Amino acid sequence: MIDLSVGKLLLLAVIALLVLGPEKLPSAARTAGAMLRRVRRGWDSVRAEVTRELEAEELRAKLKEAQEATRAAMSQVRAQTDVANGTLGSVAQDARKLMHSTLGETPAAVAPPDSSNHSEAHDDRAG
């Protein structure tokens, strides 16, 4: 950026006074100040917009990472659920075989229990 010391500013003010004269110097100073304010506001606006865009891009990246992590977690949950279902299925099958062997029945003769079998058993006990 431009390096302006106090001496340079004083020299600039003296040159402006000599060139413009005492009548036009105040209006020229107001105009220069207004222009500097507009430039500064514009610069601040651009800087704020760039900052917002960078923050938005950062949020998008974090969202993408979170989505990928969620997908990975869901995949692990599905895999563990499949393993658990397989294990429970084999335990249930083993339990049926054990039950059939202790009752002396063949596994094909006894169907897995459903809701209709339970209601009939309940009716037999009630009557």
Q: Which of the pair, 60 or 25, is modelled with greater confidence?
A: 60
Structural domain contains residue 117: no
- Give tens-digit pLDDT for 54-106: 999 999 999 999 999 999 999 999 999 999 999 999 999 988 888 888 887 65
Domain that holds residue 26: 9-110
Distance CA 28, CA 31 (A): 5
Query: Residue 107 in contact with residue 97, Cβ under 8 Å?
Result: yes
Amino acid 114: pLDDT: 54
pTM of the complete model: 0.45
Q: How many domains does the chain have?
A: 1
Distance CA 112, CA 96 (A): 8
Query: Residue 112 in contact with residue 96, Cβ under 8 Å?
Result: yes
Structural domain contains residue 118: no
Worst-scoring range by mean pLDDT, 9-13, 61-65, 105-109? Answer: 105-109
- CB neighbours of 16 closer than 8 A, spacing ≥ 6? 25, 28
